Structure formats: C-alpha cells, structure tokens
C-alpha cells in the first residue's frame, strides 16, 4: 500500500446486544464461591462448561452440587500448558458462537493461585541471577528484590491469560480469594482501628471483570461494581446487596444477557497479520515436516499478507522445521525458564539463518527469498 492510498471507511450500526460477561467472584474462604460457580454450570441457558482448577482441590467433589454439569480441564501445572488449555477453550467458544449455539462457560478456580504461581516464578528467577546467588552465598537470609524486568515478564504472562478471557465469546467465571486486612497509609504503616479489603491477584483484575461480586460468610452477597446499562451499582462507593444471589440470575436476569441475541465475536487484535499465523505454524509442526510444507504453500496464497509478513511467517516455519528435524533437549522439558527458552530460540534463529538447508527436501523455488 502506498503512502497516499487511503483505505475505504468501514462502519456499521451498533446492535445494542449485551456481550457475555466476565464475572469476578471473590471472598473469604468457605464463603460459597466454588459452589455458586458449580451450580451455574448446569444452567439450561448455557452450553458446555469447562472448569480449570488452579491450586484448589474442589472441582471433583463439586460435581455433586445439584445441577452441576462441567468438564474438568487437565493440565500438568505449568504456565505453558495452562495457557494452551485456555486457548483450546477459547477456540471452542468461538466455534460455538459461530454456530449460534448456547454460550460456552469457563470457570477458573482460582485466578489468585494463577497470580501466586507467577509471583513465585518471579522470586525464583530473582534468586537465580549470578549477582543474587553470590549475595545469598554470603548471607542466606539476605533480602532479594526482583527487578522490574522480571515483574514485567510475570505481568506479560498474566495479560496473555486475561486477553483470552476478555476476548472469550462465552461466559467466564473468575474465582478469587479476598479478605479483610489492616489498612496502611502512603508509607506502608498500619492505620489504627482501620480495615481494608484485599483481593489476591494482579492489580488489573478488577478492570478485566465485567461485574465484581463479593461473598462473605456472615452477610449477603454484594456487587462491588458492574459495567452494565441494565444493572447499575451506585457510584457512592457502597456495594449493592443481592439477597438470594445466583450467577444465573445475575447474568440472564439483572444484566439482561440472552441466548437469543448472540453478541458479535470481536476480531483478534494483532500487531500484524503474521502474528495470526503463528498458532498455525505450531499446529502444522505436529504433522511433521509434511505439515509445514503444506503451510508454506498456503502462506503464499494469502492475499491479505504483505510481502514482509510472508517472509516473517516463512522464517517461523523454517525455524519450526529445524526444531522438528533436530529437537532441542532440555534437562527439564516442562520448565518455563524464559531465559533458557529465549536463548534456545535465538540460537535456533541464528542457526537457521546460517544454514538454509533446513528445508532442503522442499522445492527450491518455494523456499526462495522474495
């Protein structure tokens, strides 16, 4: 596209359809969070429900909650596998939405433990740096503070999960731990006789949710905030009490969602069109070199890709083919050590650049640089 070419303006009238919500339910231990989620999975107004259990141990037992109907997602505990399973649910939700089926439901129990996993990962990485290892050899009790780049890596992983949650064309229930804590001032000192409430999770958790519900053992459920035109929470700062609360009543009653008015599926946001091809590269790699050969030919036929984007995707296919033919062996195949993976990827990329023979089995004209 030349610098003087202006694309045609594409617009449409808004539908007014209410999107499927992200429901954050947080609260004290034994306050009924998981029970509420399990009961909702049996709603006649929803489709298949999936339960992703992270650091909790109730999912098998809660299948006995009256009406509960969900499939328990299996994973090996690593971030990589957890993210992959959420991506699989996301793909199924998109398929169901395109087929105009009842909405898929995803329950994550709990996002507090997801963030705790990332915090632990960040602290462990901080302890492994050469500088801090030397510091700990001198003083095993020395304070180690993770650097900002390590926290940024943890936040990036959190945001990958939340992006899938926000763009899920179905209903997502996020369960989190919440508790009353001592209030502190700007210097971090406790404020006498003053209490505050803390939700365990990334600081952006409340922003990602459509509606935020708090459960406590000795009081009625409260809605802390909601992004809805049909169901508003006073802006006075006081929560809205909901006696007899159920998720089904909240979603299909108070918020006005309806299975008869399917929300429009939002397009995936990508920095460039090449990014959309990366999952296809990984999928094709499962079929070996033959699968990657087929994908190589498909890239050229995609008229929406610019020439630079074609080259980016082809480079990714070449690197993946090199890995399929000569897989790297790690001491721990399930490790999420980003430094090690990045080093391996960089080495692989350099090797592919120096050795164009990784695709020697393919016709030379198909793999010639543009």
> Per residue of the chain (370 residues), what is the pLDDT tens digit?
445 688 899 999 998 999 999 999 999 999 999 999 999 999 999 999 999 999 888 899 999 999 999 999 999 999 999 999 999 999 999 999 999 999 999 999 989 999 999 999 999 999 999 999 999 999 999 999 999 999 999 999 999 999 999 999 999 999 999 988 877 777 777 788 777 888 999 999 999 999 999 999 989 999 999 999 888 787 766 889 999 999 999 999 999 999 888 787 777 777 788 888 888 898 898 898 899 999 988 988 888 888 888 888 999 999 889 888 887 654 444 445 445 555 555 555 555 444 444 444 444 344 333 3
Which residues lie across from 108 on neighbouring strands?
52, 174
Structural domain includes residue 266: no
| Integer Cα distance of 366 and 359 in angstroms | 10
Alpha carbon of 108 to those of 23, 49, 53, 54, 234: distances in Å?
Answer: 11, 11, 6, 7, 28
49 and 159 part of one domain: yes
Task: Please tell me whether residue 174 adopts helix, strand or coil conformation.
Answer: strand
Give the pLDDT of residue 364: 37
Give the pLDDT of residue 348: 53
100 and 178 part of one domain: yes
- Residue 95: which H helix or E strand, with range? helix 79-98
Structural domain includes residue 219: yes
* Backbone φ, ψ for residue 278 (5° rounding): -60, -45
147 and 208 part of one domain: yes
159 and 296 part of one domain: no
pTM of the prediction? 0.77
From 195, 222, 254, the end of a domain falls on 254
Helices (H) and strands (E) in the chain, counts: 11, 9
Structural domain includes residue 223: yes
Please give the tally of structural domains in the chain.
2
304 and 166 part of one domain: no
Identify the domain containing residue 93 by its residue range: 22-254
Structural domain includes residue 354: yes
Give the pLDDT of residue 305: 87
279 and 234 part of one domain: no
* Backbone φ, ψ for residue 182 (5° rounding): -70, 135
What's the number of CA atoms in the CB half-sphere (13 Å) around residue 313?
27
36 and 119 part of one domain: yes
* Nearest by Cα to 173 from 23, 318, 338: 23
284 and 242 part of one domain: no
Give the pLDDT of residue 150: 95
Task: Please tell me whether residue 255 adopts helix, strand or coil conformation.
Answer: coil
238 and 293 part of one domain: no
From 219, 254, 289, the end of a domain falls on 254
Structural domain includes residue 5: no
Is 169 in contact with 103 (CB distance < 8 Å)? yes
90 and 139 part of one domain: yes
Structural domain includes residue 9: no
Structural domain includes residue 57: yes
Read off the CATH number of the domain in which 172 is found.
3.40.50.300
Give the pLDDT of residue 272: 81
From 205, 221, 254, the end of a domain falls on 254
* Backbone φ, ψ for residue 97 (5° rounding): -65, -40
87 and 174 part of one domain: yes
Structural domain includes residue 218: yes
278 and 343 part of one domain: yes
């Amino acid at each position: 596209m030349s610098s003087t070419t202006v694309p045609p303006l594409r617009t449409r009238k808004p539908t007014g359809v209410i999107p499927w919500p992200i429901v954050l339910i947080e609260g004290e231990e034994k306050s009924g969070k998981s029970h509420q989620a399990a009961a909702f999975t049996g709603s006649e107004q929803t489709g298949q429900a999936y339960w992703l259990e992270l650091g909790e141990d109730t999912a098998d037992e809660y299948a006995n909650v009256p009406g509960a109907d969900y499939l328990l997602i299996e994973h090996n505990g690593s971030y990589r596998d957890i993210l992959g399973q959420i991506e699989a649910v996301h793909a199924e939700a998109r398929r169901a939405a395109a087929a105009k089926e009842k909405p898929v439901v995803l329950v994550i129990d709990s996002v507090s433990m997801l963030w705790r996993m990332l915090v632990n990962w960040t602290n462990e990485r901080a302890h492994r740096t050469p500088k801090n290892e030397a510091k700990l050899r001198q003083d095993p009790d020395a304070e180690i503070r993770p650097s900002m780049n390590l926290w940024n890596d943890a936040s990036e992983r959190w945001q990958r999960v939340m992006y899938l949650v926000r763009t899920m064309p179905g209903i997502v229930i996020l369960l989190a731990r919440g508790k009353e804590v001592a209030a502190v001032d700007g210097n971090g000192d406790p404020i006498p006789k003053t209490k505050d409430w803390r939700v365990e999770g990334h600081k952006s958790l409340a922003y990602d949710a459509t509606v935020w519900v708090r459960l406590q053992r000795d009081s009625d459920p409260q809605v802390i905030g909601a992004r809805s035109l049909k169901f508003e929470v006073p802006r006075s700062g006081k929560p809205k009490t909901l006696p007899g609360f159920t998720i089904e009543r909240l979603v299909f009653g108070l918020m006005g969602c309806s299975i008869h008015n399917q929300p429009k599926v939002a397009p995936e946001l990508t920095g460039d069109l090449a990014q959309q091809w990366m999952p296809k590269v990984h999928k094709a790699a499962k079929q070996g070199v033959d699968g990657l050969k087929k994908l190589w030919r498909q890239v050229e036929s995609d008229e929406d890709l610019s020439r630079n984007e074609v080259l980016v995707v082809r480079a990714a296919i070449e690197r993946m083919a090199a890995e399929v033919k000569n897989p790297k062996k790690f001491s721990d195949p399930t490790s999420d050590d980003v430094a090690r993976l990045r080093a391996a990827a960089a080495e692989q990329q350099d090797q592919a650049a120096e050795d164009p023979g990784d695709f020697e089995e393919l016709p030379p004209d198909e793999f010639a640089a543009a």
